[in-house]
Structure 1
Amino acid sequence: MARRKMIYEGKAKILYEGPEPGTFVQYFKDDATAFNAQKKDVIDGKGVLNNRLSEFFMKGLTNIGIPTHFLKRLNMREQLIRSAEIVPLEVIVRNFAAGTMSNRLGIEEGTPLPRPIVEFSYKDDALGDPLVTEEYIIAFGWASQQDLDDIIALALRVNDFMSGVMYGVGIKLVDFKIEVGRVWDNDFMRLIIADEISPDSCRLWDMETGRKLDKDVFRRDLGNLADAYTEVARRLGVLPSNVTHTPKPTIIN
């Protein structure tokens, strides 16, 4: 088998050249990072879980008419995705105060927000992904006003879907971040959800106990990250319901 050409390696994923023009193969690594990669570890099975969980959410979004880059899962760690021009922003949707919002504003973590709040940060690890305003985004040409309106509408639709899915399995969707890409169909440009949606990119708390089921487990040394992600996958039906711990997950096909 010919060796595939690597296009890009990030903190949690690798992109390879796809089998057809306009496609990539996205490989999910077991690497865990926090604080812009100042804290690092390898969590056995994390990539397998995130591959399947991201597939679950991307398919769910597609089913309700939200376009994504996801085409199909290839194996336990890889997805075939559509190539897209990534808008250089992280789009953050907050339902409850937590993390940097709590630190910036002095609001106790877990405080419900009066409405979902959409924030933008500029994607640049060297700068610490700084929070930016819509004025900055438009002035520097990262996105147009129409793009921003469409991105906010997409993000809020994703929030509605994700909040409902999580509520149904007893999990509170505190916040999450997504990336958005541009694709062209002939001369028509549209925006799609790209990158991944997984516990790496969400804050997820158990509704009864407040137990964290996301990357804060790793950030704050709260226990075993694989256990937390396994619990999310089990509740969503991605893992068999009798699984309580699996560093090398047994996945339902």
Structure 2
Amino acid sequence: MKLIYTGKTKNVYALEDGNYLLKFKDDVTGENGVFDPGANTVGLTMEGAGQAGLKLTKFFFEKLQEQGIPTHYVDANIEEATMTVKPATVFGKGLEVICRYRAVGSFLRRYGAYAEEGQPLDAFVEVTIKDDERQDPPISEDALDMLGILSKNEYKELKELTRKIGSVVKDELTKKDIELYDIKFEFGRLVDKQIVLIDEISGGNMRAYKNGEYIEPLQLERLMLED
């Protein structure tokens, strides 16, 4: 295995068969010891977070597979906290796509003059550029097209996929009486240029609440996967 990339919450290795291996870490994003899925820095280390994130990711990626929704997922090894994936290239230097069902986090910080905290949103899709130095600025469809990052047709496909995947996750959480407030996805292109979901779907990528109380990533994994 050859180390290709060292990330905040996982490392990426190249395998001999052409696939890649993602090694999940116990680090989660946040600031000053407080978890925040939208943060640009590792805020804290939670023992077992890597395995927990992978268990939930495996659960959701296999749900998406059943529904014919394209992802880069091949298989997962929970004990090793690793996931095998198909090779995919990111858009530009990487994009994050957020699907929002309630006004919280950076949405509320930006639009607080018009929105109230927790206000319902209709699966609002927001694209941001992965750029720590510039604090992941939001970018519009026109700008993505003009800068050659994503064509307008690709943007349309990305938006549809985001809403479809968000709906699957939201429905699964609802079965456990958990409400999804927002979720962050990453997408890439396979060798054949097909747009697919990449990275992970875990508690570290979303804000979820039960009875109005925020659920920590490790607790979310336990609630979702308990019988």
Instruction: State whether TM-score is above 0.5.
Output: yes
Following superposition, the deviation at residue 163 of structure 1 comes to 1.1
Following superposition, the deviation at residue 139 of structure 1 comes to 0.6
Match of 2:120 in 1: 112
Question: 1:217-228 residue pairs with structure 2 within 5 A?
Answer: 228=216
> Which of residues 40, 45, 49 in structure 2 aligns to 1:36?
40
Amino acid at match of 1:136: A
Larger Rg: 1
Following superposition, the deviation at residue 7 of structure 1 comes to 0.3
Amino acid at match of 1:95: Y
Question: 1:12-51 residue pairs with structure 2 within 5 A?
Answer: 12-21=9-18, 23-34=19-30, 35-37=39-41, 40-51=43-54
Q: Does 1:234 align with 2:222?
A: yes
> Which of residues 197, 201, 224 in structure 2 aligns to 1:197?
201
Question: 1:168-187 residue pairs with structure 2 within 5 A?
Answer: 168-185=175-192
Unaligned runs of 5+ residues in structure 1 are 214-227, 242-253
Match of 2:86 in 1: 82
Q: Percent identity?
A: 30
TM-score normalised according to structure 1 size: 0.81
Q: Per chain length, whose mean CA-contact separation is higher, i.e. which structure has more relative contact order (CA < 8 Å, sep 6+)?
A: 2
Aligned equivalents of 2:181, 2:145: Cα separation in 1? 28
Give SS of 2:185's match. strand
Give SS of 1:147's match. helix
Q: Does 1:162 align with 2:169?
A: yes
Query: How many positions carry a matched residue from both structures?
Result: 214
Give SS of 1:132's match. coil
> Which of residues 92, 98, 105 in structure 1 aligns to 2:104?
98
Q: Which runs of 4+ in 1 moved over 4 A?
A: none
Following superposition, the deviation at residue 74 of structure 1 comes to 2.6
Unaligned runs of 5+ residues in structure 2 are 31-38
TM-score normalised according to structure 2 size: 0.90
Question: 1:128-147 residue pairs with structure 2 within 5 A?
Answer: 128-147=135-154
